[in-house]
């Protein structure tokens, strides 16, 4: 058993320097803490704020997409950005066990994290990583998206030198103008790099800029360009491998875009990218919870938080929760959002701080309204369901002027995650 004082460098000589003064008396210098016991203190008891991810909701959503798109094509689970803040390894395994076949990430390290979490499915990086990362791609069997000849050749040569193949998906730019070989240049591109024996075209894909938008002219143009690119390869005798282009919105809304595989992102986490996807039933997987750390009556005209922008109108209490903008509780939500307590909506008041936020409780007795009596330690829901009330990422995103994706990812920054 190691001495935790040594682990943290609490050398007794420091005492004289006046840095650490934990020891009350000289005999106390022999105190040591058992790191195994310390490790047993649960995350939820170290700080009263946490996120919960309901893996059954992920299962429900994957199954709903699978039912909608049918069994004749592959289902790729997009687990980039730590699975939109839900935890990449757990979500990937859950999705694969529920009918997903393929995974996509944004970075090499995200791919490595999945492999180290013992995930075996094919992994595609949705962009072309730096050529200097090629040994990692080969070692961990992570497929890059490719759209420059320099990368393609370096990748092929590196693979060849190890006696390996160099599988990749060709990214096609059909109008989003983010990454990819232009739709009318894919054949030239493939002829330029295709001589290399190690290169192994596993798929061809594009990404839509407006699949979730009401107007669909640009969307249709992208579809045509993508079809043109795929046709040009086939006509030249090049097998495009898995043809895919549909993100969540397109895969539910436009069956013609499903091709060999669909890429499900936001729907897997329980959110609708647009009203047209509401024909499938989704359940949000993430919720955000906290316990009350402080309760106080707030006399009339007293203010709360930085700037004291909120002032008590009398007959109120306020309580504090340890969730702030460093946890993804965005400061721009200040005074505009609610939390759930006892199944009731209560208004968040005052500026949201970096690590804490305050909430108002109206103590007036009006009619039959239940009188609330918040206590330190009581649970509050910042996002999610309590009783018959619900605060969704959609609601928070609307107030903050952003999208559910950013809300969920924000809440993953610092709070511990509990799977339920």
Q: Which residues bind ligand PLP (CB under 6 A)?
A: 78, 80, 126, 207, 247-248, 263-266, 273
Smallest distance from the beta carbon of 405 to ligand PLP, in angstroms? 7
- Of 241 and 322, which CB lies nearer to ligand PLP in the complex structure? 241
- Of 241 and 273, which CB lies nearer to ligand PLP in the complex structure? 273
DSSP string, 149-169: HHHHHHHHHHHHHTT--EEEE
Smallest distance from the beta carbon of 264 to ligand PLP, in angstroms? 6
- In DSSP terms, 389 is beta-bridged to 386
Element (H, E) at 177: none
CA distance 226 to 323: 45
DSSP SS3 for 370: coil
Do strands 357-362 and 344-349 pair parallel, antiparallel, or not at all (unpaired)? antiparallel
Interior CA angle at 232 toward 256 and 150, to 5°? Answer: 110
In contact, 86 and 408? CB cutoff 8 Å: yes
Smallest distance from the beta carbon of 261 to ligand PLP, in angstroms? 11
CA distance 27 to 307: 48
- Of 79 and 112, which CB lies nearer to ligand PLP in the complex structure? 79
Both structure tokens of 26: 């000289």
- Residue pointed to by tokens 């006046």: 18
Active-site annotation, residues: 80, 306
- Of 204 and 361, which CB lies nearer to ligand PLP in the complex structure? 204
Smallest distance from the beta carbon of 397 to ligand PLP, in angstroms? 14
Do strands 261-264 and 344-349 pair parallel, antiparallel, or not at all (unpaired)? unpaired
Q: Residue 395: exposed, middle, or buried by beta-carbon count in 10 A (0-12, 13-18, 19+)?
A: middle
Closest residue to ligand PLP, based on beta-carbon distance: 265
- DSSP classification of residue 252: H
CA distance 139 to 162: 10
Smallest distance from the beta carbon of 112 to ligand PLP, in angstroms? 19
DSSP SS3 for 101: coil
- Of 113 and 337, which CB lies nearer to ligand PLP in the complex structure? 113
Smallest distance from the beta carbon of 89 to ligand PLP, in angstroms? 18
């Amino acid at each position: 058993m190691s001495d935790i004082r040594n682990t943290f460098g609490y050398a007794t000589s420091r005492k004289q320097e006046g840095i650490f003064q934990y020891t009350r008396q000289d005999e106390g210098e022999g105190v040591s803490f058992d790191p195994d016991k310390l490790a047993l203190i649960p995350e939820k008891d170290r700080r009263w704020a946490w996120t919960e991810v309901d893996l059954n909701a992920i299962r429900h959503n994957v199954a709903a997409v699978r039912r909608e798109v049918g069994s004749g094509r592959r289902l790729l689970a997009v687990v980039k950005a730590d699975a939109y803040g839900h935890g990449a390894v757990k979500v990937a395994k859950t999705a694969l066990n529920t009918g997903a076949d393929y995974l996509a990430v944004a970075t090499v390290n995200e791919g490595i994290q999945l492999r180290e979490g013992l995930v075996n499915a094919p992994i595609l990086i949705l962009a072309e990583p730096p050529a200097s990362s090629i040994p990692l791609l080969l070692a961990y069997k992570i497929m890059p998206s490719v759209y420059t000849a320099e990368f393609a050749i370096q990748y092929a040569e590196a693979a060849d030198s190890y006696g390996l193949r160099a599988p990749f998906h060709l990214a096609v730019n059909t109008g989003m103008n983010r990454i990819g070989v232009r739709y009318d240049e894919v054949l030239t591109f493939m002829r330029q790099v295709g001589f290399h024996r190690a290169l192994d075209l596993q798929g061809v894909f594009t990404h839509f800029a407006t699949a979730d938008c009401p107007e669909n002219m640009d969307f249709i143009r992208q579809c045509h360009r993508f079809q043109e690119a795929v046709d040009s390869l086939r006509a030249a005798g090049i097998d495009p491998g898995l043809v895919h282009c549909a993100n969540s919105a397109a895969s539910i809304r436009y069956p013609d875009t499903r091709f060999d595989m669909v890429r499900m992102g936001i729907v897997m986490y329980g959110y609708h990218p647009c009203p047209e996807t509401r024909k499938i039933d989704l359940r949000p997987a993430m919720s955000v919870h906290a316990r009350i750390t402080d309760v106080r009556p707030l006399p009339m005209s007293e203010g709360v938080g930085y700037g004291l922008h909120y002032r008590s109108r009398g007959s109120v209490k306020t309580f504090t929760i340890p969730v702030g903008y460093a946890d993804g509780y965005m400061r721009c939500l200040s005074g505009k959002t609610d939390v759930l307590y006892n199944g009731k909506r209560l208004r968040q008041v005052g500026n949201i701080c970096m690590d804490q936020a305050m909430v108002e409780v109206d103590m007036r007795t009006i009619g039959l309204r239940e009188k609330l009596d918040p206590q330190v330690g009581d649970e509050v829901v910042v996002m999610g369901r309590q009783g018959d009330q619900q605060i969704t990422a959609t609601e928070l995103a609307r107030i903050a002027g952003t999208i559910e994706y950013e809300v969920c990812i924000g809440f993953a920054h610092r709070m511990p995650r509990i799977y339920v």
